[in-house]
Chains A and B, each alone.
Chain A
């Protein structure tokens, strides 16, 4: 870039010595940030705010397709939905939370490896992390039905080493199978959202100056201490954004529960889908969506406050 970082000061008529005008840009210039924001704000209005308003309206309507739906301020829908589908809400939070924790456990070492140890393999490894995205979400999920097939090698090995006894005791699997159990749903979620964890982790780890590690070593910190006191705190922005990028979409997901789960693993996404498309109860579907949004928002706010990365809120 050859352009100056800051524009030259505004021309001021020499006859009018206005000190303010010399130091500060004129009003028109002050409005520039607002003009620059306009496309973004319009986009948000049309594709975010308006649908949200429409959905809010739907959630307090009553009626049927024959009679049409009209706004009757029927707030009971919210209470009914929460009462009726409490277990599915709980499952959404639980499965998405577990999947996020697993993503962090699996993704952190990998991101660390790519950032610090991979050398010239770094770019290849990053491509490999993203590679599954070249096939469709649905196909990737369906592939797990083959991987976790009842008589497949994976499930037989897990059964032989007693893993299925442990998960069975935890209520995550059922007998000698993994498919159509909570474990399969969590596995699918973990797999599908893992790249969303790895990429932000990688970006924030990669920015850490390796000389900080050396400096810590010079100060007699053991590698474990270096990680705990230097690396991990510096990678916190990546951890926070990674967990958010994983948890938020995972809690609204319904494909994994639909394809890999069974009747007792359905999440809120499945309920919304079925209320909207099968039962044609649009108000309940809209209310459920708002409730899910509110629950996720509360969890995320509490989490960010505790994780201490204030600048994200």
Chain B
């Protein structure tokens, strides 16, 4: 017997196996390997395996409330936020307000700027949340419609009101009772985001652009008009222009707004639907006028005196970016204390002075004026009563509405 051969096989048998492996029909060639791999993949893809996949339903009464809070033992909080959404010291080395929080409470903040886009961020955390796992984040900042969706899916922890004395007292009336989180049990606004019309006076030849109707009809702007890929901002502004109420509209009214915009696409009045990248187009004059976010406009104006903005007579949309504690997060109390800290006027003023978005905190005018009187007087940052009265919120949608509306909107913007 060949001592290297396995037991129980004759020399001839071993030779046959060997022949099979190294030459002849089942020799290992690239082609046969690929074929075998393909067959293997097909076998793997059998119905049993396919059926085993799937996404479990989101449970409202899942881990959200019962997630145990390790805040007392671990003095940390992991905070995920958007880029450029936090004050930075002049030498760019530290974040003064966050450092102040750590100094006072001893809670270390792991601050990550990993949110660039609501839909992408949701795509990133959705698998963990639907599997009931910790996302590794104790505090996240998402726009109101996504906050509404996450609360609806039961993926957000209820906040302890006793830890939120400043926030409770100082939240602007405008933001107190969104229909998706009345009384703010789950979320508090980080900033408000007003959608206004911005235009480049050089590109419009000095002409003022102050209504959505003008964006859609003025032949002087043909091919140089931009709308936003955020469905609620674009549709909301159009609904207002049509005399509808974005806080209370029907399917038919939604379709009417889509139809109005579709006409603008068809006659090539609208150049593009943009995300944040409208800022460079507007600065260069490739877009003469567009829907824009107020915070961007203030920053654009600082660099380019040709940029102007207008608030339509029909009103404008204000949404909010909201802080919430995702399900499974282990440091709820620490996160809640961080939320409350940002509702103290000196802290809120410092943040608003840096990021220039609508400040959701009452009583910061004095503090903001100490930093820069011009900012304190800017109604895009601290809306006065008249401004606040013209601000509208987009109503929250059920999941069926959301799907149907997003699909119609996707068709409008081409994909």
Contacts and interface: CB of A to CB of B under 8 A. Distances in A.
Interface of A: 10, 13, 16, 18, 20-21, 24-28, 30-31, 33-34, 37, 41, 44, 49, 52-54, 56-58, 60-61, 63-71, 88, 142, 145-146, 149-151, 174-175, 177, 179-180, 259, 261-266, 270-271, 273-282
A208 B34 CA distance: 30
Given A65-B58, A69-B55, 15 more contacts: A16-B1, A20-B14, A57-B53, A63-B57, A68-B56, A71-B50, A71-B51, A180-B272, A262-B272, A263-B265, A274-B410, A274-B415, A279-B407, A280-B403, A280-B406
A275 B414 CA distance: 12
Contact of B53 (A53, A146, A279): A53
Given A142-B277, A262-B414, A65 B130 contact: yes
Contacts of B6: 27
Contacts of B286: 145, 149-150, 177, 179
A62 B242 CA distance: 36
B133 to A, nearest CB: 16
B17 interface: yes
Contact of B3 (A13, A53, A281): A13
A177 B223 contact: yes
Interface stretch (B116-124, B167-175, B212-220): B116-124
Nearest to B118: A277
A34 B53 contact: no
5 contacts: A57-B53, A145-B280, A274-B415, A275-B410, A280-B406
Interface stretch (B37-45, B157-165, B316-324, B333-341): B37-45
B56 to A, nearest CB: 5
Given A20-B11, A53-B44, A68 B55 contact: yes
Interface residues of B, number: 65
A20 B2 CA distance: 10
Contacts, number: 168
B399 A66 contact: yes
A1 to B, nearest CB: 24
A32 to B, nearest CB: 10
A68 B41 contact: no
Given A26-B4, A30-B21, A270-B414, A175 B57 contact: no
A30 B55 contact: no
Contacts of B122: 277
A65 B1 CA distance: 64
A30 B23 CA distance: 11
Contact of A279 (B18, B28, B285, B406): B406
B50 A88 contact: no
Contacts of A67: 57
A177 B203 CA distance: 14
Nearest to A270: B415
Nearest to A84: B411
Nearest to B285: A151
A53 B399 contact: no
Nearest to B284: A149
B4 A145 contact: no
Nearest to A273: B415
A29 B297 CA distance: 71
A266 B277 contact: no
A30 B273 contact: no
B54 A263 contact: no
Nearest to B130: A65
Contacts of B399: 64-66
B271 interface: yes
Contact of A271 (B54, B224, B280, B415): B415
A163 B130 CA distance: 53
A276 B50 contact: no
B256 interface: no
A281 B400 CA distance: 11
What are the 8 closest A-B residue pairs judged by CB atoms, nearest first? A68-B57, A263-B414, A57-B53, A270-B415, A266-B414, A26-B4, A277-B119, A266-B415
Contacts of B414: 262-266, 270
A54 B55 contact: no
Contacts of B126: 65
A229 B132 CA distance: 65
Interface in B393-415: 399-400, 402-403, 406-407, 409-410, 412-415
B404 to A, nearest CB: 9
B268 interface: yes
A27 B11 CA distance: 11
A54 B53 contact: yes
A28 B277 CA distance: 61
B301 interface: no
Contacts of A18: 2, 11
B49 interface: yes
B109 interface: no
Interface in B339-371: none
Given A265-B414, A279-B410, A71 B119 contact: no
B22 interface: yes
Highest count of chain B CB atoms <10 Å: which of A28, A58, A278, A280? A278
